[in-house]
Structure 1
């Protein structure tokens, strides 16, 4: 029995030494703390710090315009929460971004900045970010963009009567208005006490602006609950048909620099500032950018794997880089039956004719430039830009642009409502730097 006790005691001693060594190692290697819990996901402290560094870099020399550190931390965390929720919803909806598509997007970003992939990796490292982290951020951006597109296709409609009314308004005076706003948000089903608190807050903000103690943009950065708070509440340039009907007549009568409100809206209490007005007469030409390009396509199908297609397009790219004529290579090897016999020539087309990724890539090239190989749903491509031009879209296209303008305004309103619902239905827990849970998350 004594021998067994000695062995048992020796085992306890060994276990204690292991636990002590583990604890010491833990002290030597700081743990990446959790900044927020978002449903079943987490946002790490290191991710938050990197986002905060990016914001501070954007405000270099204007640091006094940023809110106090605790307010800035909360604003940036809210943005990151909305990103996580949108990415999760996109994945639940079956939206995916493949590795090869992501590789192509990153290669295009590097090319647009005149960098090789290794140089991009070095640039990211200087900014404290790994290539893997950058890949994740680009993937999330693409997922959110596609979620927004799917939302627009399923929920946004524009009637002919709305287009007619907008064209009539333009004919009566084609002005554009640059607006900014400050939002004090109210939760769904706000209580009378919450409404009163929100109203007092927006009145206090308006008082600071009226007394000249803070300009509108600085007040937006510091106090607004809107996703664009860190941009000073800037809403950009809008025509009257892009402004909600409740505000359109008010904006028409305002002078630049004037602030309207407070006013209660669907999201909470708002202040609206008219920053500038400019003429944008409907009679003026409406120009769009068009491009002339040729391409080579190697399809991915049941007979050709993505790896095989990539190897073939890489070989063709090497031939062209070595001096081979693009059109001749397209006639020989391209699998796009519609353009192969024309040397891959796609003719003149607007930027979005073949999708946003394809259009952005063509726009990033110089005339005569050849892209790096990139992936689409059809397969692997090479593109050579031949030229660009500005074209007056004419009356019919003007009507379509007005339709798109109204659609964008409706989408903005509806998608912001969707984001509020998404945020309201989520379990979100904010944590302090010491790991304790914040109240009111």
Structure 2
């Protein structure tokens, strides 16, 4: 009898345990597998809730929840792919990177860390979630820099032409929103026709629906999650094709669909502010003419292997070999074709480790091997000079803006190729 009761109790325990596990799996089941990682139902629900909160806080009627779910799932898949890529290449967000962004948030909002944590709690979020989000932003930026930005070259002619454009436009600040219907990298005539038709359909929807809602639902631009908001920008920070459209719009109005090489656009002016350009006081900054040799670790090349090779190249150069010849022969960076030349670079513009090495070495001296996100380097500067900071600031700002603009244009194609090589299984 006792044995029978024990069996009954054991069986009931199994049922309870099974019920608990089933309930847990239902609550946090796997909705997608991305390479070696998974996306859970809780991940998806959290993303949808965040999107719904955005619409609620901005008094915007949200799209259907199925549309939000699909968009959130696409974003989570992208994040998993990027995080996996970053892990493969040892790209990380350092504590220093995260602390710097947190300090920027506190300064911009004039609040303390405790106030930030309290505000996040009131919004249904948490400080830990913010740190996770910032960490991903940093990693994504480093990935874009590694694969795209670092390979872009902005010529002095392009900077000059951009300055000429800036001189012709008024220095107002525009609060803008944007919808993009993106073309593929090599669009056919049929694809362009379909995208133009979609642009007209979206334009018709805007007559009765909120711009932010339509942007969230249809836009292919990275700013779609914020209802297409581009924030506050000067005309000088915008593509020329945007400026032509802005001249015909007033605050609260949006453009008809227009086409660029990137796709079909619709822009809206939310607000216009008068802008007063501040004058920079004269200040000098040091510039270096830099060459470098870069080697990257791989499955067949460990850090020790790479460091030994770079030390050997340094010894050869110290013994009389030409840095440019060695760079052309061995460097694994796009600058190898130019003998490793990066060109004139402002002090403080590159990775902190570059500045550290520049402060240690003398002109024409070769540094010891050091590591950045791009790989392992040795560097040499062959000349240095001081220039006025005011004009340099303008040129660097233009260069930064043009690089960012091109990076975003190229990123989607680069990511599409990476995604096509990834294993993705959706289980919804």
TM-score tier by shorter-chain length is 0.5 to 0.7
Specify the alignment match of 1:216 in structure 2: 211
Worse-matched range after superposition: 226-235 or 136-145 = 136-145
The answer to whether the 8 A contact 1:66-1:222 is kept is no
Q: 1:207 aligns with which of 196, 204, 207?
A: 204
The answer to whether the 8 A contact 1:176-1:237 is kept is no
Shift of 1:88: 1.7
2:382 is the alignment partner of 1:396: no
Q: Aligned to 1:65, what secondary structure does the other structure show?
A: coil
Aligned pairs for 1:357-436 (under 5 A) are 394-431=390-427, 436=428
Aligned pairs for 1:335-350 (under 5 A) are none
The answer to whether the 8 A contact 1:251-1:274 is kept is no
TM-score by length of 2: 0.59
Specify the alignment match of 2:92 in structure 1: 96
The answer to whether the 8 A contact 1:90-1:147 is kept is yes
Worse-matched range after superposition: 159-168 or 225-234 = 225-234
2:260 is the alignment partner of 1:260: no
2:223 is the alignment partner of 1:225: no
Distance 1:134 1:186, change over 3 A: same
Specify the alignment match of 2:21 in structure 1: 26
Aligned pairs for 1:65-144 (under 5 A) are 65-97=61-93, 114-115=112-113, 136-144=132-140
Listed as ranges, the gaps of 5+ residues in structure 2 are 1-6, 284-345, 353-371, 373-387
Q: Deviations over 1:121-148 (max 9, x none)?
A: 8987777767766654443333223223
Specify the alignment match of 1:167 in structure 2: 163
Q: Deviations over 1:158-200 (max 9, x none)?
A: 1111111122222233435644322234556667776554443
Shift of 1:14: 11
Shift of 1:207: 1.7
Specify the alignment match of 1:285 in structure 2: 278
Q: Deviations over 1:363-408 (max 9, x none)?
A: xxxxxxxxxxxxxx9xxxxxxxxxxxxxx95233222222222222
Specify the alignment match of 1:184 in structure 2: 181
Distance 1:233 1:49, change over 3 A: same
The answer to whether the 8 A contact 1:35-1:44 is kept is yes
Shift of 1:59: 2.9
Shift of 1:265: 3.7
Specify the alignment match of 1:37 in structure 2: 33
Q: How many residues align?
A: 322
Listed as ranges, the gaps of 5+ residues in structure 1 are 1-11, 291-349, 357-376, 378-391, 437-441
Shift of 1:103: 8.9
Distance 1:191 1:40, change over 3 A: farther
Shift of 1:428: 3.3
Shift of 1:84: 1.8
Specify the alignment match of 1:300 in structure 2: none
Distance 1:409 1:286, change over 3 A: farther
Q: Aligned to 1:397, what secondary structure does the other structure show?
A: helix
